[in-house]
């Protein structure tokens, strides 16, 4: 069994690039997570984790990450990504991710609704929610990316 992460960081970034992969990589850099190896995970926040504002992980580290992302090559289109983290007072939490053709505010509202629904389905009391999103208007090729990195 792998160790349970003890910390989490919420990050978001948007960027353009000459290719879809470069746009994604540039968005990761803008989010502050571009020099890590992301391991995509589902959306459970371990009990007792500490929120840390900025990642402090060596480059190349394998990093469990729940994220939403969208890339577009339609000039003038606004794209957004957001993550929401819901907390109970004394148990585990939930992470939800959203991305779409919309603005940051709409993405943040949608991910908040998703967190609320996840808690309703589990019968857990929702004590508080943290949300972070980003958006960008596409010029050539752009990516919006939002994530919750879980680390040790």
Instruction: Please identify which of the residues 42, 50, 53, 89 carries the catalytic annotation.
Output: 42
Q: Is 97 a catalytic residue?
A: yes
Q: In the numeric block, which tokens belong to residue 45?
A: 């926040």
Instruction: Please identify which of the residues 43, 72, 99, 110 carries the catalytic annotation.
Output: 43
Q: Collect all residues with Cβ–Cβ distance below 8 Å to 103 and sequence separation of at least 6.
A: 78, 80, 135
Q: Is 42 a catalytic residue?
A: yes
Instruction: Please identify which of the residues 35, 37, 73, 91 carries the catalytic annotation.
Output: 37
Q: Collect all residues with Cβ–Cβ distance below 8 Å to 136 and sequence separation of at least 6.
A: 14, 15, 16, 78, 79, 80, 142, 143, 144
Instruction: Please identify which of the residues 14, 26, 97, 110 carries the catalytic annotation.
Output: 97
Q: Is 14 a catalytic residue?
A: no
Q: Is 117 a catalytic residue?
A: no
State the catalytic residues: 37, 42-43, 97
């Amino acid at each position: 069994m792998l160790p349970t992460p003890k910390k989490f960081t919420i990050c978001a970034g948007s960027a353009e690039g000459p290719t879809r992969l470069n746009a994604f990589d540039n968005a990761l850099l803008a989010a502050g997570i571009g020099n890590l190896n992301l391991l995509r995970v589902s959306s459970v926040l371990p009990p007792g984790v500490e929120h840390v504002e900025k990642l402090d992980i060596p480059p190349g580290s394998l990093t469990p990450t729940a994220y939403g992302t969208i890339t577009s090559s339609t000039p003038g289109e606004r794209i957004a990504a957001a993550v929401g983290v819901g907390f109970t007072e004394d148990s585990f939490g939930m992470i939800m991710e959203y991305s779409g053709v919309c603005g940051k505010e709409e993405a943040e509202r949608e991910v908040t609704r998703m967190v609320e629904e996840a808690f309703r389905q589990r019968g857990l009391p929702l004590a508080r929610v943290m949300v972070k999103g980003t958006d960008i208007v596409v010029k050539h090729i752009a990516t919006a990316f939002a994530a919750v990195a879980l680390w040790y």
